[in-house]
Amino acid sequence: MRNDPTPQQLDPLGGITARLIVIVGGVIALVIAIGMSAANASEISNPLLAVAAIVALGLTAAYFVRVSSPYRAPLRFHSHVIICLGAIGAIALEALSQWGTNTLIRDDWGPITMAIVVITLGSYRPPLELLAGAFASATLVALIAVGVSMSGSLVTPVPLTVFIVTMATPVLAAGIASAAFSASSIRSHRSWQRELDAGREVAPFTQDAPTGHLAFLHGTVIPFLDSVVTTGELGADDGARARRLAQELRVLMVLDSEQSWLTGVVDRFDDPARVAHELDSAQRASLRAIITHVQSSAAFAKGTARLRLGLDNGEAIGVLETDVVAVGNARVQLAPFIAIARRAFPESETQLTASRFTLTFRI
Amino acid sequence: MSQVLPAPLAAQHNNLALGDGAYWFGVVCLAASFVGIGSIAVARPGFPAWAVFPALGIMAIGGTILFLQRARSIPLLVLVVGIELLGLAWYAHTVFVYQNSQPADPRAASDTLFITLVTTAMLMFGVTAGRVLPGITSVIVAYALATTTVIVLAIMTGHEVVPDVTATGVFLVLVLVLSLLRVSRRRARALEPDFVRADSDDSAAMVRERAANRVSALVHDTVLNELAVVSTREPGPVPDNVRERIAASIAHVIAENAQGHAEVRPGDRLGGAVADAVDAARALGLAVTVEGDVAAVSELSPPVAAALGLAVRQCLENVFTHAGTDSAEVALIAGDRVLTAMVVDSGRGFHEEGIGPDRLGLRNSVRKRIEAVGGTVQVWTTEGVGTSVSMTVPSS
């Protein structure tokens, strides 16, 4: 369950799309918490705990914004747990801040704000985990509701079940909704991928002029052999010429076989251990995209992209570096490329300073 | 493999997932209302809760119809709206009549909790309806109908009209989130052409490498042997059997080279007007690569295929004339009852708003033509980086 693929892993750009909602949701939750605390100030018996509850909610929202960054993708299981516990902690602190003075549960902000925060988790975690989290969170919130009802200050003449329903419903509904969102996203993505694989075309057509040994073969060797076939005679120099052509052809074939697909893609590259051939298609395409971007974007210095591939204790690693001109633009522009790169290279690290961008990855 | 989900499909998947999530949110709200009112009914035998449960059931049925609906059907939507309003009116009437019968408890008389739960459920079902009615219209309609019904029922039963702050808050948050999602999706996927191009370049490079490797192996087994034979023979006539072997080796190498290129030509399976558009652009001198679900073009109805072909032709002509590049890619992506054709180039890009009145190609030949057959057009362009025109049309 914890290691199941998530919508963010399958579609990293979807994770970036959802992040704006995470940020806006966090702000809305904080505004609601502060607004409702002010509106129901008469129900607060411990202002310090009321402030602590808002701070806990703010920290939870800020943590969610941080871990949903494409630079830290994917959002992990432990982050899901921390977000849920943080929001439940805020609910508990709010309940304690109104201990003995809380007259109505339905004007408490805790469950509503938790619903706003957790509903966006659907883009970041697998459905079964979200479902389990929803039921676990709702159970803890129900226990808090039982505690609040035991404080004896509630005035609404309804059974305990209604208090539990009032507090737990937003959390449970949001959690189940996020699980359904996650399941649907994953189902749709896999269906698309299956269709893509089934109808895959081998490759685009590109009629390039032959290069390297093929150019030599078609331009020199085959015409020579053809002349031998056509004339049916060997001249005095033809034997020596055939030996020379064979030798040159062998040299060119060896040189061509040592060429990497990175030739012409990046400004400079070092690959003494010939690691480039070990990259799969997703990794190659991801590197191509990011290299092409840093070479064409005004945020990076032209002609400074360098890729080093090699072995580190027997493990293949790579380092892509380039000089930065405008760090603010670079960070925003790079986000989609980093999100995709982190899917292709799960063990990767990004460093972006005012002067340099470095992507280190394990293959 | 394809690195990114194409933007039109991403929007479709996102809409579907939002609809699924909203449906379950609504169902939980209805279930919570069922449990809450049921517990009150148990505690207070005088409360006619039996009248509420069928109403909740009717609303759940309406939501489930929306959940199962995959294609737009206006009569079915009207039926669901009727079912939802009937359920809500029935439910609100029962709750208001009960609250009116509790004059000794002013809080119970004004409590909107159980109305909030069903109004929220209806709003969520509005989001579910958004799968077949794109945009936020369905949510606005759901909120307007639910609120009006509740107010009318309150007035009819003599109940105090209490503003439902929570349901209104949920509505506003939904409208904000749905609007922001569109903006956020556009921003996040603005660089999609770069990924499409990288995929395409990588596929092309790998095919070239495989073809070159095959020819190299053949060269090693044939041409190098023939050169060795020639190098060891004395000058003079070449025996017929040697000439025939050399001729056969040359023919093998030439045939293998031709096969290497033929194998990587998916455009050959592309038919109809789109194929004509690609051929016309190639005739202009533009190197056009075609990839994706080329067979899906044959599933388009003749008018849609013709419109798409002409639009693709215009896009490729635009690349040739204005983009300052000699190559372009056509990617075809088949979705659920739709086909998306993307024309991608790495030329100079442009501002769509800044196109002069004399350049009507994108507006008329592409956008209007595609929209006329029920399709949509999206353009991503960055100056100095390139342009991607995505055309989504309905498939049969």
Closest chain A residue to B187, measured at CA: A17
Q: Count contacts between A and B (CB, < 8 Å).
A: 319
**Residue A145, token pair as written in the block:** 């509701």
> Of A57-66, A195-204, A259-268, where does the model show the most confidence?
A57-66
Same domain membership, residue A22 and residue A164? yes
Q: Provide the chain A residues 103-122 that lie in CB contact (below 8 A) with chain B.
A: 104, 106, 112, 116, 119, 122
Same domain membership, residue B271 and residue B207? no
Task: Output A180 or A259, whichever has higher pLDDT.
Answer: A180
Could you tell me if residue A205 is inside a domain?
no
User: Cβ contacts (< 8 Å) between B208 and chain A: which residues?
Assistant: 206, 208
Q: Are A267 and A227 in contact (CB under 8 A)?
A: no
Q: Provide the chain A residues 1-60 that lie in CB contact (below 8 A) with chain B.
A: 7, 11-14, 16-21, 24-25, 28, 32
Same domain membership, residue B236 and residue B129? no
Q: Which of A11-25, A156-170, B288-302 has the lowest mean pLDDT?
A: B288-302
Task: Output A356 or B354, whichever has higher pLDDT.
Answer: A356
Could you tell me if residue B183 is inside a domain?
yes
Q: How distant is the Cα of A154 from the closest Cα of chain B, in angstroms?
A: 12
Q: Average pLDDT of A16-43?
A: 95
Q: Provide the chain A residues 234-273 that lie in CB contact (below 8 A) with chain B.
A: 234-236, 238-240, 242-243, 245-246, 249-250, 253, 256-257, 261
Phi and psi at residue A91, to the nearest 5°: -65, -45
Nearest CB to A178: which of B21, B40, B237?
A: B21
Residue A204: what pLDDT? 44
Q: Report the distance separating Cα A217 and Cα B384, nearest Å.
A: 39
Residue B267: what pLDDT? 43
User: Cβ contacts (< 8 Å) between A336 and chain B: which residues?
Assistant: 188-189, 191, 195
Q: How distant is the Cα of A270 from the closest Cα of chain B, in angstroms?
A: 19
User: Cβ contacts (< 8 Å) between A203 and chain B: which residues?
Assistant: 203-204, 206-207, 264, 266, 291
* Long-range own/partner contacts, residues B238-245 (CB < 8 A, 24 or more apart): B238/A228, B238/A232, B238/A233, B238/A234, B243/A228, B243/A229, B243/A232
Same domain membership, residue A129 and residue A15? yes
Same domain membership, residue B182 and residue B153? yes
Same domain membership, residue B326 and residue B279? yes
Residue B198: what pLDDT? 82
For the beta carbon of residue B198, count every other beta carbon within 10 angstroms: 25
Same domain membership, residue B350 and residue B276? yes
Same domain membership, residue A31 and residue A177? yes
Is the pLDDT at B370 greater than 80? The verdict is yes
Contact A333 B296 (CB under 8 A): no
Asked if A196 has any chain B CB less than 8 Å from its own CB, the reply is: yes
Same domain membership, residue A312 and residue A242? no
Same domain membership, residue A168 and residue A216? no
Same domain membership, residue A337 and residue A295? yes
Same domain membership, residue B381 and residue B242? no
Same domain membership, residue A59 and residue A150? yes
Opening angle at CA A350, ends B10 and A1, nearest 5:
55
Q: What is the mean pLDDT of chain A?
A: 89
Could you tell me if residue A129 is inside a domain?
yes
Closest chain A residue to B14, measured at CA: A185
H helical segments located in A68-211: 77-97, 110-119, 127-150, 160-198
User: Cβ contacts (< 8 Å) between B29 and chain A: which residues?
Assistant: 169, 173
Q: What is the mean pLDDT of chain B?
A: 82
Residue B347, domain CATH: 3.30.565.10
Q: Average pLDDT of B173-187?
A: 88
Q: Which of B264, B286, B315 is the last residue of a domain?
A: B264
- At A274-319, the pLDDT tens digits run 888 888 888 998 999 999 888 888 888 988 999 999 988 888 999 9
**How many domains does one find in chain B?**
3
Match 């030798």 to its residue by tokens.
A247
Q: Which of B396, B7, B374 is nearest to B194 (CA)?
A: B7
Contact B35 A180 (CB under 8 A): no
User: Cβ contacts (< 8 Å) between B180 and chain A: which residues?
Assistant: 20-21, 24
Q: Which of B2, B3, B162, B348 to mutate to test the interface with A (most CBs of A within 10 A)?
A: B3
User: Cβ contacts (< 8 Å) between B106 and chain A: which residues?
Assistant: none
Contact B266 A202 (CB under 8 A): yes
Q: Which of A141, A167, A195 is the last residue of a domain?
A: A195
Opening angle at CA B71, ends B132 and B85, nearest 5:
60
Is the pLDDT at B354 greater than 70? The verdict is no
Q: Average pLDDT of B206-219?
A: 74
Q: Which of A257, A284, A311 is the last residue of a domain?
A: A257
In sequence order, the 6+-apart residues with CB closer than 8 A to the CB of B356 are: none
Residue B46: what pLDDT? 72
Contact A233 B237 (CB under 8 A): yes
Same domain membership, residue A175 and residue A36? yes
- At B299-350, the pLDDT tens digits run 888 888 888 988 898 888 888 888 888 888 888 877 777 888 888 887 877 7
Could you tell me if residue B1 is inside a domain?
no
Asked if A207 has any chain B CB less than 8 Å from its own CB, the reply is: yes
Please list the residues that pair with B345 across neighbouring strands: B387
Contact B10 A17 (CB under 8 A): yes
Same domain membership, residue B157 and residue B237? no
Contact B207 A202 (CB under 8 A): yes
In this structure, are strands A315-323 and A306-312 parallel, antiparallel, or unpaired? antiparallel
Closest chain B residue to A175, measured at CA: B25
- At B75-125, the pLDDT tens digits run 888 999 999 999 999 999 998 888 888 766 655 544 688 899 999 999 999
Contact A203 B206 (CB under 8 A): yes
Q: Provide the chain A residues 283-312 that lie in CB contact (below 8 A) with chain B.
A: 284-286, 288-289, 292-293, 296-298
Q: Which of B244, B264, B284 is the last residue of a domain?
A: B264
Could you tell me if residue A183 is inside a domain?
yes
Residue A309, domain CATH: 3.30.565.10
Same domain membership, residue B382 and residue B337? yes
Is the pLDDT at A202 greater than 70? The verdict is no
Could you tell me if residue A143 is inside a domain?
yes
Could you tell me if residue B29 is inside a domain?
yes
Same domain membership, residue A176 and residue A116? yes
Same domain membership, residue A244 and residue A337? no
Could you tell me if residue B86 is inside a domain?
yes
Q: Which of B54, B1, B61, B52 is nearest to B26 (CA)?
A: B61
Residue A57: what pLDDT? 98
Nearest CB to B194: which of A176, A184, A292?
A: A292
Is the pLDDT at A92 greater than 50? The verdict is yes
Closest chain B residue to A252, measured at CA: B216
Same domain membership, residue B244 and residue B280? no
Q: Which helix (H) or strand (E) holds B382?
A: strand B376-382
Same domain membership, residue B207 and residue B66? no
DSSP-derived secondary structure letter, B385: T
How many angstroms separate the most distant Cα atoms in chain B?
125
Contact B230 A234 (CB under 8 A): yes
Q: Which of B240, B264, B288 is the last residue of a domain?
A: B264
Q: Which of A153, A156, A225 to mutate to test the interface with B (most CBs of B within 10 A)?
A: A225
Could you tell me if residue A130 is inside a domain?
yes
Q: Average pLDDT of B133-137?
A: 77
Phi and psi at residue B377, to the nearest 5°: -130, 135
User: Cβ contacts (< 8 Å) between A228 and chain B: which residues?
Assistant: 230, 238, 243, 246
Task: Output A200 or B361, whichever has higher pLDDT.
Answer: B361
Q: Which of B12, B35, B192, B203 to mutate to test the interface with A (most CBs of A within 10 A)?
A: B203
Same domain membership, residue B66 and residue B113? yes
Q: Provide the chain A residues 140-169 that lie in CB contact (below 8 A) with chain B.
A: 155-159, 161-162, 165-166, 169
Could you tell me if residue A262 is inside a domain?
no
In sequence order, the 6+-apart residues with CB closer than 8 A to the CB of B167 are: B112, B115, B116, B119, B120, B123, B143, B146, B147
Could you tell me if residue A263 is inside a domain?
no
Is the pLDDT at A205 greater than 50? The verdict is no
Q: Average pLDDT of A3-8?
A: 88
Nearest CB to A289: which of B9, B111, B194?
A: B194
**Residue A24, token pair as written in the block:** 């806006």
Closest chain A residue to B33, measured at CA: A165
Domain holding A152, by residue range, is 7-195
Could you tell me if residue B2 is inside a domain?
no
Task: Output B62 or A327, whichever has higher pLDDT.
Answer: B62
Is the pLDDT at A50 greater than 50? The verdict is yes
Closest chain A residue to B386, measured at CA: A296
Task: Provide the ipTM.
Answer: 0.85
Domain holding B349, by residue range, is 267-394
Same domain membership, residue A76 and residue A138? yes
Match 């009321």 to its residue by tokens.
A50
Residue B341 CA: distances (Å) to CA of A119, B301, B309, B318, B370: 34, 15, 10, 15, 11
Residue B44: what pLDDT? 79
Nearest CB to B20: which of A18, A184, A238?
A: A184
Asked if A229 has any chain B CB less than 8 Å from its own CB, the reply is: yes
Residue B224: what pLDDT? 85
**How many domains does one find in chain A?**
3
For CA atoms B97, B98, B99, B103, give the dihedral sign.
Answer: positive
Could you tell me if residue A202 is inside a domain?
no
Task: Output A329 or B318, whichever has higher pLDDT.
Answer: B318
Nearest CB to B219: which of A156, A181, A217?
A: A217
Nearest CB to B384: which of A178, A238, A296?
A: A296
Strand stretches in chain A, DSSP E:
233-234, 268-270, 306-312, 315-323, 348-352, 356-362
User: Cβ contacts (< 8 Å) between B1 and chain A: which residues?
Assistant: 281-282, 285
Residue B26: what pLDDT? 97
Instruction: Provide the pLDDT confidence category of residue B250 given band limits of 50, 70 and 90.
Output: confident
Instruction: Provide the pLDDT confidence category of residue A206 given band limits of 50, 70 and 90.
Output: very low
Same domain membership, residue A61 and residue A128? yes
Same domain membership, residue B351 and residue B213? no
- At B35-56, the pLDDT tens digits run 999 998 888 777 777 788 999 9
Nearest CB to B198: which of A122, A195, A288?
A: A288
